[in-house]
Amino acid sequence: MSELSATQEDYLEAIFRVEMQRGKVRVKDIANVLNVKMPSVTSALQALQGQGVIEHEKYGSVQFTASGRKAAREIYRRHQALREFLADILQLPARTAEEQACKMEHGLSPETLRRLLAMLDFIKRCPRGGHDWLEHLKGRWEGQPCAGDCAACIAAIHLPEDSPFATTPDEGDTITLDRLEPGQRAVIVRLGGSGAVRRRIMDMGFTPGSDLDVERLAPLGDPMEFKIRGYHLSLRHEEAAKIYVRPN
């Protein structure tokens, strides 16, 4: 697979998003996501097939090759990380963050992405960061420094019961995501688990501070379907059990 252009990366990301939401990916779905004409999609798919990243037969669904899926997942992760950084940390409006992430994502290296994801997780999990810290940061955009005493603030830091650094989750109003029912809403407090499973959950957008809605359960109760960050996503019960939330 040769190097993909920015436009080709946009198409791969669109295919990846449609696949997560619908399972099957068709030309009209991609056209709707990218707001382009179907003949343009057909032409782009032919080029991507020539690159060996997708497989597509006329009037059929679009499928990733192994290398294509790996590339698409990486592109999606870059976009999500940048959008989250711009919206949650720099506190730009959601639409602006989305537009800027689309423009910036193509130049992000794998190592830069890894460090950006680590920084996002650190800011939201560290007791010296979190939502209160981000609230104090807001004034800086208007040239208004925090009126508080930084030394006193640091000295007063303590670990709340629902802190991700605590040894056990809060047994009060914090529960695991798998215990929610369809129609309930919640905010993510922290993530459990480790390694590839935890990273996959974060890549999908399930990060501390994010609001979500439980939409429905599959007929046998697994997987669970959620709406988060404007996307409709599914998690298995065993994955949902690793996410601690506070119901709204």
**For 36-60, what is each residue's pLDDT tens digit?**
999 999 999 999 999 999 999 888 8
Domain assignment of residue 24, yes or no: yes
**Residue 137 resides in a domain:** no
Is 153 contained in some domain? Answer: no
CATH number of the domain where residue 169 is located: 2.30.30.90
Cα angle for residues 191, 197, 199 (degrees, 5° grid): 70
CATH of the domain at 35: 1.10.10.10
Q: What is the pLDDT of residues 88-123, one digit of tens each?
A: 888 899 889 999 998 888 888 888 888 888 888 777
Give 151-181 pLDDT, tens digit per residue: 666 555 554 444 444 444 444 578 888 888 8
Q: Quick one: average pLDDT of 212-234?
A: 82
Q: Find the Cα–Cα–Cα–Cα dihedral 53, 56, 61, 66, rounded to 10°.
A: -30
177 falls within a domain: yes
> What's the total number of domains in the chain?
2
Its pTM stands at 0.58
Domain-terminating residue out of 109, 143, 173: 109
- Residue ranges making up the domain that contains 76: 1-109
Statement to judge: residues 103 and 167 lie in one domain: no
Alpha carbon distance 47, 62 (integer Å)? 13
Residues 240 and 166 in one domain: yes
Please say which residue of 109, 135, 150 terminates a domain: 109
Residue 3: other Cβ atoms inside 10 A? 7
Q: Among 238, 245, 235, which residue's Cα sits nearest to residue 169?
A: 245
71 belongs to a structural domain: yes
